[in-house]
């Protein structure tokens, strides 16, 4: 691979060129904070296409979430990873990750502002159809995309992978317009049955078009191989749930974007 500096539309980026997909670190500003998101696109695919916003786990914009963006770009979507902390901050320390994510979760106005800033970057991409946008999130990112749905962001639908299902704040809309999919580990000790029931009640009360899939024996972070293989710790990779949840997301996207044909089985 070759990394090259680029300047596109006045936005500084760094590109990683692979055989197909191009990923770029995209710098942008919002609310007095500087952010480093990541875009991923297949430059050989012609025409405007749907865009997918990705909200990372609480680790920040790391290789894992970038790989997910690449997977989406490889099948034809334009993907953009949101930087929810600023300056592209990333960590492998769970205490630090918990502190950073807690600050954002504790200030839902900040969460919405930062998610919206990333969404605007995605919508402005020259290959994106701005009327065909979805958002997906993992763990902390799942919490964020549910907040986006509750706030009626300009997206057709959202997908939460093993996300926190805590209740939204007082700014939540009484009616939810984006479609909602929740992909949940049935054995996740970090999400109580009461939280699942409360989310169900909230989505029903808001007249949302939604569904949830619970994967048997899957615990928290079931899509991330870096989570290890010991479910007794409450955080572990589950290859079956990973594949099934990704397939569920793709099926949902087929529903959201019926005129778009994704490529491959990746």
Q: Beta strand 128-138 with 49-55: parallel, antiparallel or unpaired?
A: parallel
Q: Which two tokens stand for residue 149?
A: 């749905």
> For the chain, what is the total number of helices (H) and then of strands (E)?
6, 10
Give the model's pLDDT for residue 165.
93
Q: Measure the CA–CA gap between 213 and 203, rounded to whole angstroms.
A: 15
User: How confident is the model over 100-140, as pLDDT tens digits?
Assistant: 999 999 999 999 999 999 999 999 999 999 999 999 999 99
**What pLDDT, on a 0 to 100 scale, did the predictor assign at position 8?**
31
Residue 5 to residue 54: CA distance in whole angstroms: 23
In three-state secondary structure terms, 64 is helix
In this prediction, residue 170 carries a pLDDT of 56
According to the model, what pLDDT value does residue 129 have? 98
178-234 pLDDT, tens digit per residue, is 999 999 999 999 999 999 999 999 999 999 999 999 999 999 999 999 999 999 999
Per-residue pLDDT of 55-106, as tens digits, reads 999 999 999 999 999 999 999 999 999 999 999 999 999 999 999 999 999 9
Residue 173 is predicted with a pLDDT of 77
Contacting residues for 78 by C-beta, under 8 A, at least 6 apart: 39, 40, 41, 49, 50, 51, 52, 122, 125, 127, 128
Query: Checking DSSP bridges between strand 78-81 and strand 33-41, what pairing results, if any?
Result: antiparallel
% pLDDT > 90, the chain:
88
Across 30-65, b (16+ Cβ under 10 Å) vs e yields beeeebbbbbbbbeebeeebbbbbbbbbbbbbbebb
Residue 190: strand, helix, or coil: coil
Q: Show the DSSP H helices in the chain as ranges.
A: 63-74, 94-105, 108-123, 140-150, 193-205, 239-256
């Amino acid at each position: 691979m070759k990394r090259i500096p680029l300047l596109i539309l006045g936005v500084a980026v760094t590109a990683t060129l692979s055989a197909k997909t191009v990923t770029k670190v995209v710098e942008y500003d919002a609310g007095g904070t500087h952010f480093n998101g990541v875009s991923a696109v297949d430059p050989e695919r012609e025409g405007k296409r749907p865009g997918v916003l990705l909200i990372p786990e609480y680790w920040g914009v790391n290789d894992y979430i970038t790989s997910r963006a690449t997977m989406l770009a490889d099948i034809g979507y334009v993907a953009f990873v949101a930087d929810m902390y600023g300056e592209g901050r990333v960590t492998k320390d769970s205490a630090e990750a918990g502190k950073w994510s807690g600050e954002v979760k504790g200030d839902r106005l900040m969460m919405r502002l930062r998610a919206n800033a990333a969404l605007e970057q995605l919508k402005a991409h020259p290959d994106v159809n701005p009327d065909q946008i979805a958002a997906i999130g993992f763990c902390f990112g799942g919490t964020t995309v549910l907040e986006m749905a509750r706030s009626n962001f300009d997206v057709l639908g959202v997908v939460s992978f093993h996300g926190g299902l805590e209740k939204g704040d007082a700014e939540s809309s009484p009616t939810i317009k984006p479609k909602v999919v929740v992909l949940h580990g049935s054995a996740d000790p970090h999400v109580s049955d009461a939280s699942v029931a409360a989310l169900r009640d909230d989505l029903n009360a808001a007249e949302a078009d939604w569904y949830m899939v619970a994967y048997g024996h899957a615990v928290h972070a079931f899509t991330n191989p870096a989570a290890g293989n010991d479910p007794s710790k409450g955080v572990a990779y589950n290859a079956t749930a990973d594949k099934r949840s990704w397939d569920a997301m793709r099926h949902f996207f087929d529903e959201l974007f019926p005129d778009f044909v994704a490529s491959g089985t990746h």
